[in-house]
Structure 1
Amino acid sequence: MGEHLTVRFDSDRAYVALNRPDKHNGLTLEMLRDLVRAARKVADHKETRAVFLTGNGPSFSSGLDIAAATRDPLAIVREFLPRPWRGTNTFQEACWAWRRLDVPVIAAVHGRCFGGGLQLALAADFRIATPTAEFSVMETAHGLIPDMTGTASLAQLIGIDQAKLLSMTADRVDAAHAAELGLITDIAEDPLAAAEALADRITARDHRAVAAAKHLFDNSWQLRSRAGFAAERAAQLPLLLHKAFARSD
């Protein structure tokens, strides 16, 4: 992995950490590519029974680093091209790759969890956050929309009115409100320790049954996620390119 993403294996656990702490783990295109590669690496590590997504420094992730991502419009176009065998582009696969794994993925969240960072956390099977964590579907504040599989994840977790409200206002919500909405699973002072305790409970069960349960719900809860990802791309690309070419003028 690159310097801004680390993967560590400890017995049957995999720890994946965003590592750009000085930028609140703002996501670059390279980090998105690394997230895809990291998910594949975890999948290849057959001993893994649980995965933890974390962020080093003061935040889980402040979302996509717009300035960095829009420096190269051609790179945006390349990363927007969907993989025909997956139905996702790089932005989307950086999140949805964690849904494809056969093991539970738990996001331990602190600080800011905004935009693409929130969409990454939503792609985990469970989210445990500190009481002071903040959440925002931040994209409209930057003239964009949630397009990193956020529409599918939000549809599974909360009502359509709340999904529209969060997306259209880009309001920040605290952990207590996020739990009420269903954005997060639980609140804990030490979310990683709580995530590890949850993993202990899950991995005590037959791993084949756990994998089957995960995929059953993911595949039946939203039957049209692939079509939804195509709609995300169609709505987002002109917005991103407008920002990219505006920067170059």
Structure 2
Amino acid sequence: MSEPRVLLDISDAVATVTLNRPDKLNGVDLPMLHELVATARAVRADRDVRAVVLRGSGDAFCAGLDFASVLKSPTKIVRGFAPSPLRGQNLFQHAFWTWRELPVPVIAVVHGYCYGAGLQLATAADFRFTTPDARWSVLEAKWGLVPDMSGTVSLRELVGGDVARRLTMTGEVIDGTAAHAYGLASGVADDPALPAAELVAALKERSPDSVAASKVLLNRTRHASPRRAFAVERRLQLAMLLSKNAAIARAANARHEAPQFLARAFGR
């Protein structure tokens, strides 16, 4: 029996999700895509989870698509490439974009290679911390391809149009420091797990419903008209004003105490 491609450990309200093909530098194959979807579903169902840390085992975060493995199953590729009428995403896109759609913050911790599919997975997270010497690349250009695992949307949200075009058209390799300068990475550290843990600690001090609603608010209004954005604001704020966790926050602040929140009630 083969080892799981994706490991999930939930401890102290934090879900640590680990890509688990270290011998292949965590290259993405078809089973990993399915396991990413299943793991995200399990995280979503656990309302006690406050944040997700996404990482790679061994010497890399993820070196990209494992072409040698994937091309052995052309029929499965065709099936995986067909979009779901409900989601408007195919398997390759959904396996990565589902992390953006989770109602909890997702933090990618990047080291080693972050190529192609790996870069698209990292940029689907809400935050990314990287080592200075990590190698980042939209590597699809090397193979005469374009990013097609939700990466085009992630790139346009994180960097300017000229940077997105340059990275996508050239496939040039940049280090973690440059990735941070471009806006791909949220921060740089020799041990990126440390700023990730600091951010998780800060997030856990806030209402899980407020954090989830804030993620929804910013995702849904990024390209919305002001009129549409204001409508989303009103609807979410009303939900927060009526939430039990907001009442807990107000009472705790009045007493100058740390709030003891209930499990997340907002977001499916």
TM (norm. structure 1) is 0.87
Q: Compared with structure 1, are the counterparts of its residues 101 and 2 closer, same or farther at alpha carbon in structure 2 (3 Å cutoff)?
A: farther
Supply the distance in 2 between the matched residues of 1:50 and 1:191 (Cα, whole angstroms): 16
Cα distance between partner residues in 2 of 1:68 and 1:221: 37
Counterparts in 2 of 1:1-249, with a 5 A limit? 3-222=4-223
Superimposed CA distance per residue, residues 127-172 of structure 1 (whole angstroms, 9 cap, x where no aligned partner): 0001111100000111211000000000101111111110111100
In the alignment, structure 1 segments of 5+ residues that lack a partner are: 224-249
- Quick one: distance in 1 between partners of 2:162 and 2:45? 39
Whether the aligned pair in 2 keeps the contact of 1:156 and 1:222 (CA below 8 Å) is no
Higher alpha-carbon Rg: 2
Call closer, same or farther: CA 1:52–1:197 in 2, change over 3 Å. Answer: same
Secondary structure at the residue paired with 2:136? strand
- Two-structure CA RMSD over aligned residues (Å): 1.2
Residues 134, 175 of structure 1: 8 Å contact kept: yes
The alignment partner of 1:32 has SS state of helix
C-alpha distance after superposition, 1:39-58 (max 9, x if no partner): 00100111100000000000
Q: What CA distance in whole angstroms lies between the structure 1 residues aligned with 2:63 and 2:220?
A: 29
C-alpha deviation, 1:222, in angstroms: 4.0
SS of aligned partner of 1:88 = coil
- Secondary structure of the equivalent of 1:117? helix
More off after superposition, 187-196 vs 145-154: 187-196
Q: What is the CA–CA distance in structure 2 between the aligned matches of 1:219 and 1:155, rounded to whole Å? A: 15
More deviation in 187-196 or 126-135? Answer: 187-196
Moved >2 Å (runs of 4+): none
Note if contact 1:128-1:186 (Cα within 8 Å) is conserved in structure 2.
yes
Work out the CA distance in 2 between the residues paired with 1:100 and 1:221. Answer: 14
Structure 1 residue 2 displacement after superposition: 5.6
Report the Cα distance in structure 2 between the residues aligned to 1:61 and 1:210, rounded to whole angstroms: 28
Give the equivalent residue in structure 2 for 1:238: none
| Equivalent residue letter for 1:174 | D
- Retained in 2: the 8 A contact 1:99–1:123? yes
Report deviation, 1:219. 1.4
For residues 62-102 of structure 1, the C-alpha deviation after alignment (integer angstroms, 9 at most, x for no partner) is: 01111111112111110111122211111011111111111
What code does the residue aligned with 1:160 have? G
Distance in 1 between the 2:210 and 2:78 partners? 39
Amino acid at match of 2:125: A
* Greater relative contact order structure (CA < 8 Å, 6+ sep): 1
1:158, 1:182 within 8 Å by CA — same for their partners in 2?
yes
What secondary structure sits across from 1:64 in the alignment? coil
- 1:11 positional shift: 2.1
Secondary structure at the aligned position of 1:52 is classed as strand
SS of the aligned residue for 1:60 comes to coil
Q: Distance in 2 between matches of 1:76 and 1:192?
A: 34
Unaligned runs of 5+ in 2: 225-268
CA separation in 2, counterparts of 1:211 and 1:68?
A: 37
Contact 1:11–1:47 (8 Å) recurs in 2: no
Helix, strand or coil at the partner of 1:9: strand
Classify the secondary structure of the residue corresponding to 2:4.
Answer: coil
